[in-house]
């Protein structure tokens, strides 16, 4: 049997086992082969080989298809399914079936009882009829759950279940079909074909000829006192609205200093203290407030933690000349505070600070703004 005859047989019957039936070009008019590459039939699911005598063989391999599809000369497809490129090619001449051409090029016809007169049911081969089994009667919507999330299920006044497709519950490029769920209805060739014009639900993409929904934008700023949302329009995609309950309270967060605090002093010709503070990190717990200046600064604490807008934290770095640090101030709203950062020096032992005569008390005004 020549190649054309084999392909026609495969298209009509499909393959029933895992490896399919091999077919060769022997006896045909095709030129002989010298290597396997000469036998490429451009069918992804066949294994092409050059046999002794210069004859090409094409072995359908069902394992390269997604079950229950099988490999044929036209590629992967349902066993015995009609091939199509448009829904119009799938009309089975049965009025009560919904016919569709799927993105894999196969036809599907699904019986729909709602297309038949009341009391009749649809049979895929015979159409509507009253002699068919009576559908299960319902009393409430819960009796009609059809396992498909994209349908609105209800119990009709005549005691029959109603399943109304809701396309909005399916992803981009998909629609809802009763008895089938979400199916791909729009083939795509690039991500641009799948763009729904909305940015908050993420970027849609084209995968295997079907559109896939994107990942929604996450606007969570990890700040407990803000309500976070994504805006479809405007320069800022994410918005963060401060909740009224957080106004006038000390709260955790990182606050940038409008004016950095910088100070250096030495002892015996060597640097003893070097401060470079451009932000303050507040951490409030049930028992204390901890403030850590950065990128280089001492940790300061207040216990118990403040309950209002005012705070006063202290920290000490012990040594020959002890360093005493303090930050005190108040929150003017949920994202700002004003205060004073200061450092003093006290002898660690008698005359200790005399070794560092330029280490003298300093005070810096601070205006902090929450880092978003």
User: What's residue 119's pLDDT?
Assistant: 62
| Domain ranges for the chain | 3-77, 87-184, 219-243, 247-370
d(CA 215, CA 85): 30
- pTM of the full structure: 0.38
Helix (H) or strand (E) holding 6: helix 3-13
Helix (H) or strand (E) holding 9: helix 3-13
Domain at 247-370, CATH from 3.30.200, 2.160.10, 2.40.128, 3.40.50: 2.40.128
d(CA 146, CA 148): 5
User: What's residue 135's pLDDT?
Assistant: 52
Radius of gyration of the chain (CA): 38
Task: Please classify residue 355 by burial: count the beta carbons closer than 10 Å to its beta carbon, then call 0-12 exposed, 13-18 middle and 19+ buried.
Answer: middle
Residue 221 burial (CB count, 10 A): 16
Per-residue pLDDT tens, the chain, 372 aa: give them: 443 434 343 343 443 444 445 555 544 434 578 888 888 877 787 888 888 778 888 788 877 877 666 776 666 766 656 667 777 777 777 888 888 777 666 777 777 877 887 667 777 767 787 654 445 567 788 778 877 888 888 888 777 888 888 888 887 767 787 777 777 666 677 888 888 888 998 988 887 677 778 888 999 887 766 788 999 888 889 988 766 666 668 888 999 999 999 999 998 889 999 999 999 999 998 899 999 999 988 999 999 998 888 999 999 999 999 999 999 999 988 789 999 999 999 999 898 899 999 999 999 999 999 987
């Amino acid at each position: 049997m020549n190649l054309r005859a084999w392909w026609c047989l495969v298209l009509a019957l499909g393959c029933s086992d895992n490896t399919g039936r091999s077919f060769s070009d022997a006896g045909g008019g095709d030129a002989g082969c010298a290597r396997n590459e000469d036998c490429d039939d451009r069918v992804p699911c066949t294994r092409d080989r050059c046999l002794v005598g210069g004859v090409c063989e094409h072995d359908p391999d069902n394992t390269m298809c997604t079950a229950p599809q099988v490999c044929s000369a036209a590629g992967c497809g349902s066993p015995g399914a009609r091939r199509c490129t448009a829904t119009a090619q799938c009309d089975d001449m049965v009025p009560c079936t919904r016919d569709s051409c799927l993105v894999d090029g196969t036809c599907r016809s699904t019986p729909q009882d709602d297309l038949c007169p009341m009391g009749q049911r649809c049979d895929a081969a015979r159409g509507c009829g009253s002699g068919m089994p009576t559908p299960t009667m319902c009393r409430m919507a819960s009796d009609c759950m059809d396992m498909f999330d994209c349908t609105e299920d209800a119990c009709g006044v005549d005691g029959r279940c109603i399943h109304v497709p809701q396309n909005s519950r399916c992803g981009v490029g998909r629609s809802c079909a009763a008895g089938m769920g979400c199916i791909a209805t729009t083939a795509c060739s690039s991500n641009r074909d799948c763009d729904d014009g909305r940015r908050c639900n993420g970027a849609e993409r084209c995968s295997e000829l079907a559109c896939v929904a994107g990942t929604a934008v996450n606007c969570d700023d990890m700040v407990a006192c803000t309500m976070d949302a994504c805006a479809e329009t405007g320069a800022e995609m994410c918005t963060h609205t401060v909740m009224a309950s957080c106004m006038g309270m000390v709260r955790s967060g990182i606050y940038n200093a409008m004016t950095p605090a910088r100070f250096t002093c030495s002892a015996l010709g060597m640097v003893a203290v070097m401060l470079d503070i451009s932000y303050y990190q507040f951490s409030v717990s049930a028992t204390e407030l901890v403030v850590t200046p950065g990128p280089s600064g001492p940790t300061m604490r207040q216990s118990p933690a403040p309950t209002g807008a005012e705070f006063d934290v202290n920290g000490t770095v012990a040594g020959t000349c002890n360093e005493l640090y303090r930050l005190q101030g108040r929150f003017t709203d949920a994202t700002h505070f004003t205060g004073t950062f200061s450092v003093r020096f006290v002898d660690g032992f008698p005359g200790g600070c005399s070794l560092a005569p330029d280490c003298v008390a300093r005070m810096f005004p601070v205006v902090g703004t929450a880092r978003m």
